[in-house]
Structure 1
C-alpha cells in the first residue's frame, strides 16, 4: 500500500536500521548532535511521564526531536523504545506526535514557551506477549490505566471492573479482608469517569480472585484483557463524511477505523487500502478495486483544518510502517525546495519486526524497578512493589474464556494456582534470567521444520529461534510458594480432576450425594468444553478465512482487475468472513463473561441457532466452489499468475497449500454439524428442552447432504491440482473432470540390476503413475493404463510383501512396507481395474514423457534446483515418501471432518517440565503456535505413520489426560486439560493414523483405560 501526501508523492515503506538508545546512565553533558556547532537557544522542556511525574530536560531549540526522545528513553533505561513517543497539544487542542526528524523549533503547534510533552504509548501492540521486557509491559499498563480513566477505552462495567482489579492487584498486592473490609479502599482513586459504589464493589470482588498473582502477572493479564476491547489503542479524530455526518476516525495496527460517536461502523484494513492521501482538509482512502466489502473505491472524509487532516495522515503512515512493513527505508528529507511537491514526512523508526529482533540481540538483565504506589502499601506478605525484571510469565486473565488454572513460570515449569485449602494463598516470585539470546535448552525446532530423511520427525528439542517472541524454556529451580518449594510435577488441573472416592466407613447417603454431585459436575463440564471447542476451532477458522480475504487479497492485488480465480474466490469469501468476525467476537465476549459453567447451555443453544440462521451465506459458496477450482486450474498455466501464486504459498502464514484453504468453509459446516450433535445429546442427557436445537440440526443436516458430495468432488479435484504441480517431466493433461484420484503412496520397485528402489505411486481411475523424488518435485518414470493391467501374487517373488503388475508388454514387481500396505494397494488397484474394464467410455490420452532416459535412471541434469518451500515439503505426498506409507481419497475426506485446535501441554524429553502450546490439527498434521494469535506456526509434526496411545507404566507419566504419539523411536507426550478434551484429541488424531492395526491398538487402549468416545 502506498502512502501519499497532498501532491501524490509515493511513500512506499522500507527502512534501514537506525541507532537505538540502549540502557545507559543519564549523560550530564549534551548528547552529540544536540544542535549546531555554534550552540543555540536552550529550551527547558517538561515531559509528563506515564507515572504522572514531570521531568525537565534541557535541549537546544534547533535540535531535532530525536535528541529529546533519546534523552527520555535513556533516563528510563528503555530498550523497546519505538513503541513509545512524545505527544504535545496545540492551542486548539489537537494532539500531535513529536516529529523525530524535525527541529523542535519547527514542530507544528509546539509552543516554545514552557513546552510540555507527554510520554505515551504510540503503537499499541495487538499481542502483549510480544513485549519482551517486563518494564515495557509495565509502561503499557500505565498507559491503559490512563486511557481507562480518561474515557479513551469504552467498555461495559464488568470489563472495566476486571481491568481495574488487575491495576489494584499490581499496585496494591493481594486482597486482605483485614486491610480492606469494604470497597472504600478504592474510592480514593478514579479508575473510570463514571465510577460509583457498585463498580467499586465489582472491582473488589475481582480483586479477591487474583490472590497469588505477582505484579508482572497482573500486568500481562491487564494487557490481555484491554487488547480485546474494541477501543484499545483508538484515539479519535473528528471528521465528517461527504454528506456532513459527524464521524470519528482512528488508526491502529489493523487499519483505519470509522466510528459514529464510539460505535465502530467500519474498518479499512491495510490489506484493502491501496493508497491514502490528503489534500488540504480532505482525507482520501483509495481501496483496491472490486469485492472489498465497500461500495466505493475512493472514500473521502473532511476535517476542520489542514493540520488536523495531515496529522491523521502522518499517524497512518507511521502505523502502517511499524506494523505492516518488515523494513522501512530511511529517505533523507529535502531541505530546500522552490516548489513544494508535498510532505516529505516518512516513518523513521524501527518496524515491529525490527524491534523484536533488536531486543533479542541487545537484551540485558534489567535492574529492579520501582512501581508507582497509587494505593497504600498492602500488609500482605504476598505482594511486592519492587519488581525483579527478567522473569517469564504467561497471561491468565479471567477473560477471555480460556485456561484460568495454569500459568507458566520460567517458560517451562507449570504450577497450579487454583484455590487453596483454608485461607492460604499462593504467590509467584519472578525468576531472574541472564542474557537469553543464545539458543536455550528446551525449545521447538526451527521455524516450520519438516521431516528429514528416513522419516525423522520435525518436533524436536533442538534450538529454535521463535519468530515473534523470545521463546526460552530454561528450567530453573522450582518456584517457592510461601517459602515452600513446589515440585514441577505439581498437578495442573486439580479443578478438573474427578472427586476422590468416599471412605468405606462413611454412611451410604453422603456417598450417593457425592456421586450425584460428581455426575452433575461432569455433565456441566461437558457443555463447557463443547463450547470451548467451538470457540477454539472458530479462532482457527477465522484465521484461515483471513489468510484468503486479507493476505491473499493483498498478494494478488495486482491481478484482481482481471477476472481470475482469486477475484471469484474473494467475492464469495468476503461475506462469510464478515459474519464470522462478528460471530467470533460474540463468542469471545459472551463465553468470557459467564460466571459459572452451568450457564453455557443457554449460550450454546443461542450460538448454534445464530449460526444456522446464517447458512444462506454458504449457499453461493457451495454452488460455486467447483467453478473456482476449475478457474484456478486454468490460471495456473498462466505464467504471471503461477508466479504470484507460488510466491504467496512460500509465505509462512500459508501453512498449507492454498487450495486446501478453499475447502475450509465446507469442512467447517461439517464440524458445526458434529458439534451440534454433541450439544443435542448433552441436552437430552440433561432432560432439557432442545426443540430449537432440533430444528437447527435438521436445517444443518439438509445442507450438509449437499456439502458432503461437493466436498468429496472438490477434494478429488484439489488432489489432482496439487498432483499436477508436484509432477514433472511429462506432457499431457492430468486434471480432468472424469478422472478420480484414488491413492498415493510409497512402494519399492524391483530392478534386476539395482534391486529394490523407492518410488512414489499415484493410482488414478484410469492409470497408475510411478515417479522418483528429484528436489521437491516428482519426476514421472512411467505409467500403466488400468484397462490392460493385471495383478499377480507369486510365490517366487523376492519379498513376502511384493506383487507383480502386468500391463501390455511390461511387468513391474513392487513391494509394500508391510502386509497391510500391500493389501491396500492390491484392493484399490483391483477395484479400479474392474471399474475401468466395465466402462465403455473411450480410453483417455496418456502422457508422453519428456525424458528419454531409462525409467530406472535419474539424470543429474534433471534435478530441480528450486528453493525448498517448507509448506510444499509438508504435504501428504512428501510425508508419504519419507514415512514409506500411503493415503487414499477416503482418508483425505475423513481428515477434513476431523480437525481440532486448542491448547495442549507438551512434555519435554529430558525433564518433567511441560510447555504450553496452541496446537492446530489439520491435514494429517499438528501445527504448533505459542498462542492462537500467532500468524505462522513455529513448527509442525506430520502424523502419518504415527500411533496414538495412552502412556504405559514404563513411560513414567503420572499426570492425567496425557496421550502418547510414537513413530519408530520418536515419542511425544501431550496433555489435555480435561477428560472431554483428551477424548477429542485422541479421536481426531486416531483418524490420521491410517493403519488399521494401529487404530485397533488405540481402541484397545481406550477400552483398557475405560475411555469412551465423546
Structure 2
C-alpha cells in the first residue's frame, strides 16, 4: 500500500471497495486486499458521469466472455472528477512518450472537461537525464565481510553469513539503523513490471552438483492467474518482501491471492553451507523431519476446528447443542493427543540434531520408538475417528434446517484462517493416518533389518496399517460426501445434488458446440448424470447449470472428422445430443474414458431417479428452448463489476482454477492430493531476481500455501498448481544450486530450493501428483478394493 492513495467507491451491488491508480494502471481493493488490476494497455477509455466512474476496456481475444464497461459509484461528483484527473495524469506520465498537445478550443460549444496533463512524461525525463552532461560517477558494487572472533562464541552463528548490500558512501552502522528502502528501479513507459526480490548478490559455484531427477507434467492450459509476487526491501539483519505486481499485468485474472508482505528473510549461500554442516545428513533424519513439519501443519488444521470454528459456533445461537457436542467431543481428545505427540517429536529431533545433550545424541538418532508409543496411543482414539462421518452429516443436516447456521459457516469460510473448504478440516484426522503409514513405510524401506530402529518402526507400521485399513472405506465415502457438499456451493439451478448413491467422478472445462460456435462450459460428471454449466454473473461467481444429460442409455462417439473440430466427441442422450471438444488429446482421452465408465455404472443401476434436479432446471425444457437458454449469458452487454471478475468468497476453488486454466480433475486426483500433503521450509526465487527468500510452504488441495513461519495462523499467499509444469532448471538458467526445482506456467516461473536430496524428491513427488492425472485403471482398482 506504500505510495498508493485509495479512493472509496462501490460497485453496482453496493459492495464497498477502494480504487487506486498506480504506474501500471487502475487497482481495485477490498479492504487492504487487491482483488483486481486493469493495466493501461487494457483500458480503452476513462470517463465519469456525475458520481459514476466508468472504465471501458479493449476486447480480449483470449477470453470467451467480454464485457466492455465497468462501473463504480463514488461519494460525489467532485470525488469522481478528482480521481479521474489523477488517472489522466498517471496515464499520460507513464504511458505517453511526449507531452500531449492541447486541443484547439471550440468556437461555439465545449463538450467534456478541458483538463489535460501538462509537463514532461517519464520517457522525456529519462531521455533528458541520459543526454544531459551531468557527471556520472563510476562505482563497483562490492560485499563487505564482518570479521568476528570465533573464540568468543561456543557455536557458529547463522546470522554472520547474512551480509547486507551497501551502497557507496554508506557504512555498516548506517545500514543496520536505516529503515526499509524500496529497491524499485525506474521503468520505461508502457513496459510491464517484472518480479523482483532483493537479496545479497550470489556468485555461482562452478562445482555445484545438480540433481539428476527430472520430469514435467501435463500440457499448459490457456489462462493465467495473478501469481504470488513481491518487491524487495532492505531491513536490519533481514531482507523482507513488500507487495508487488503480477508478472503478467496485461492479463488480470480472477485468481488473485493476497500478496506476500514481510514474508521472510533472504538467506545467503554461506548461511546454507554452515547449516548443512551442522545438521545430520542421514535419510532417516529427513524422514523424521518430514514427520515433524507435517505434524505442525496438522495441528494448525485441528486448531481451525477446535479454536476458530468453536469460537464462531459459540457466538451463534442457531447452532444445535447436538452439533456442538459431537464436533468437540471428537476433536478435543485428538487435539490434546497430537499436541503431546508433536512435543515428543520436537524433543527427539532436537537431540538428533545435537542442539541439546550432544554427548548422548547417539542413543536418540531414531524415531521408531516414539512412533510406536504414539501409534499405540492413537489406536485408543479409534472410536472418535469412526464418528467423523457422523460429524459431517450432522453439520450438513443442521445447515439444511437453519439458514442462519448455513450463513455462519459460509462467513467462516471467508476468514483467512479457513484457507480450505471447511469440510476438509473435518477429514484431516482420517487423512493423517495415511500420512503416518507412508512415513513409516519409507522409514522401514530405508532401514536394514539389523538397524536398531527397524523393529520399532515395523511394529508402528503394523499398528497404523491396521487402523488405516479399518477406516479407509469410511474415508473414501466421506471424501465423496465432502466433494458433493463443496460442489453444491459452487452450483446454482440444481437441487438434491447430495443424495445417497451419487458418486462424483470428474469436473473440468470443455468447449460445447452451439449455433454461435464453440462456447466454454464447465462439465460435472457423476455416476448417473452429466451436468454442463457456465460461470454465472453473480457476486459469488457460482456456476449456473444449463442442462443435464442422464447417462442411462447414453452413447459416446469421437467426431473430429464429422465436425472438423480437434479433440471433439459427441454425446448421444435419450433426449439430446451434445458435441464437445477438449483442449488437447490427453484431456479428451480422460473425459472419454471416464464417461464410458460412468455409463457402465449407470447401466448397472438401471438409470437415475426422476427427481435428481430442481424443477426449475432446464431438465423439462425442449432442446430448442434449452439451446436458447444455454447461450443467453453470452449476449449480456451490461457493465460488470470488479467482484464478478474476482469473487472474494469462492474465487480460488478448484472449480474456478479448472475454468481459468481449461483443465479437469477427477475424484481420484482429489483423493491423492489429500494423501500427498507436505510442508516445510523452502527457498523461493523469481525468474528475474537474485535473492532466495525463505518461506514456510504447505502443499495441499492442488495448491502451495506460503507462510512466513510455521507458527502463522493463516497463509499470506497461495499458488494453485493445476496446469503448472514441474521440471529441473536447465544449465542456461544459471541457477547453479543443489536441489532446485522449477514451476512454470506460461510466462510465470518460480524456482524452489530444498535442503536435501530427500526433501527435493518428496517435493517433486507431491507436486507431480497435483499436475499429472491418474489413469482409469487406478480408479477402478481403488473402487474395487474399497467399495462404497
Question: TM-score band (shorter)?
Answer: 0.5 to 0.7
CA deviations over 1:924-949 (Å, ceiling 9, x no partner)? 10000111111111111111111111
Structure 1's 557 and 415: CA in aligned 2 closer, same or farther, altered over 3 A? Answer: farther
2:510 corresponds to which of 728, 735, 747: 747
Structure 1's 572 and 842: CA in aligned 2 closer, same or farther, altered over 3 A? Answer: same
- Distance in 2, matches of 1:494 and 1:914, equals 16
Residue number in structure 2 paired with 1:551: 308
Structure 1's 801 and 564: CA in aligned 2 closer, same or farther, altered over 3 A? Answer: farther
Residue number in structure 2 paired with 1:579: 337
1:807 offset after TM fit, Å? 1.0
Q: Report matched runs for 1:592-607 at 5 Å.
A: 592-596=350-354, 599=362, 602-607=365-370
Q: Report matched runs for 1:333-732 at 5 Å.
A: 388-390=176-178, 412-413=199-200, 443=242, 464=259, 466=261, 470-471=262-263, 492-493=272-273, 496=276, 525-559=282-316, 562-596=320-354, 599=362, 602-637=365-400, 638-684=402-448, 687-688=451-452, 690-730=454-494, 732=495
CA deviations over 1:182-218 (Å, ceiling 9, x no partner)? xxxxxxxxxxxxxxxxxxxxxxxxx32145756999x
1:767 offset after TM fit, Å? 0.3
- Distance in 1, matches of 2:512 and 2:544, equals 15
- Distance in 2, matches of 1:831 and 1:773, equals 27
Residue number in structure 1 paired with 2:553: 788
> Secondary structure in 2 aligned to 1:609?
helix
Residue number in structure 1 paired with 2:154: 208
CA contact (8 A) 2:686 2:749 kept: no
Structure 1's 211 and 877: CA in aligned 2 closer, same or farther, altered over 3 A? Answer: closer
> Secondary structure in 2 aligned to 1:763?
strand
- Distance in 2, matches of 1:579 and 1:639, equals 35
CA contact (8 A) 1:489 1:913 kept: no
CA deviations over 1:376-426 (Å, ceiling 9, x no partner)? xxxxxxxx999943488xxxxxxxxxxxxxxxxx9733889xxxxxxxxxx
Residue number in structure 2 paired with 1:815: 581
CA contact (8 A) 1:414 1:914 kept: no
CA contact (8 A) 2:505 2:666 kept: yes
1:602 offset after TM fit, Å? 4.8
Q: TM-score, normalised by structure 2?
A: 0.64
> Secondary structure in 1 aligned to 2:532?
strand
Q: Report matched runs for 1:903-918 at 5 Å.
A: 903-918=681-696
Structure 1's 457 and 636: CA in aligned 2 closer, same or farther, altered over 3 A? Answer: closer
1:833 maps to 2:608: no
Q: Report matched runs for 1:93-108 at 5 Å.
A: none
Structure 1's 415 and 953: CA in aligned 2 closer, same or farther, altered over 3 A? Answer: closer
> Secondary structure in 2 aligned to 1:694?
helix
1:988 maps to 2:766: yes
Structure 1's 749 and 832: CA in aligned 2 closer, same or farther, altered over 3 A? Answer: same
1:728 offset after TM fit, Å? 0.7
Taking only aligned residues, the RMSD between alpha carbons, in angstroms, comes to 4.0
Structure 1's 815 and 526: CA in aligned 2 closer, same or farther, altered over 3 A? Answer: same
> Secondary structure in 2 aligned to 1:781?
strand
- Distance in 1, matches of 2:639 and 2:393, equals 30
Structure 1's 604 and 811: CA in aligned 2 closer, same or farther, altered over 3 A? Answer: same
- Distance in 1, matches of 2:201 and 2:328, equals 43
CA deviations over 1:469-496 (Å, ceiling 9, x no partner)? x4588x9xx9xxxxxxxxx666834664
- Distance in 2, matches of 1:880 and 1:608, equals 39
1:996 offset after TM fit, Å? 6.8
Structure 1's 434 and 595: CA in aligned 2 closer, same or farther, altered over 3 A? Answer: closer
Residue number in structure 2 paired with 1:958: 736
CA deviations over 1:105-155 (Å, ceiling 9, x no partner)? xxxxxxxxxxxxxxxxxxxxxxxxxxxxxxxxxxxxxxxxxxxxxxxxxxx
Structure 1's 434 and 953: CA in aligned 2 closer, same or farther, altered over 3 A? Answer: closer
- Distance in 2, matches of 1:600 and 1:968, equals 51
- Distance in 2, matches of 1:769 and 1:544, equals 33
- Distance in 2, matches of 1:723 and 1:453, equals 28
- Distance in 1, matches of 2:333 and 2:413, equals 24
1:806 maps to 2:594: no
CA contact (8 A) 1:391 1:432 kept: no
1:766 corresponds to which of 508, 528, 536: 528
1:758 offset after TM fit, Å? 0.7
Structure 1's 671 and 600: CA in aligned 2 closer, same or farther, altered over 3 A? Answer: farther
1:590 offset after TM fit, Å? 3.3
CA contact (8 A) 1:450 1:940 kept: no
CA deviations over 1:548-582 (Å, ceiling 9, x no partner)? 00000001113476235454222211110011112
- Count of aligned positions: 556
Q: Which has the higher contact order (CA 8 A, sep 6+)?
A: 2
> Secondary structure in 2 aligned to 1:887?
strand
CA deviations over 1:437-486 (Å, ceiling 9, x no partner)? xxx99656689x99997879768xxx9462xxx4588x9xx9xxxxxxxx
Structure 1's 595 and 866: CA in aligned 2 closer, same or farther, altered over 3 A? Answer: closer
- Distance in 2, matches of 1:216 and 1:956, equals 22
CA contact (8 A) 2:198 2:691 kept: no
1:949 corresponds to which of 706, 717, 727: 727
- Distance in 2, matches of 1:979 and 1:570, equals 40
- Distance in 1, matches of 2:345 and 2:179, equals 32
Residue number in structure 2 paired with 1:892: 670
> Secondary structure in 2 aligned to 1:698?
helix
- Distance in 2, matches of 1:457 and 1:909, equals 20
- Distance in 1, matches of 2:395 and 2:179, equals 50
1:636 offset after TM fit, Å? 2.5
Residue number in structure 1 paired with 2:34: none
Structure 1's 688 and 533: CA in aligned 2 closer, same or farther, altered over 3 A? Answer: same
**Structure whose CA Rg is larger:** 1
Structure 1's 957 and 566: CA in aligned 2 closer, same or farther, altered over 3 A? Answer: farther
2:629 corresponds to which of 851, 854, 857: 854
1:862 offset after TM fit, Å? 13
2:496 corresponds to which of 733, 750, 755: 733
- Distance in 2, matches of 1:950 and 1:825, equals 30
- Distance in 2, matches of 1:696 and 1:471, equals 38
1:708 offset after TM fit, Å? 2.2
CA contact (8 A) 2:723 2:771 kept: yes
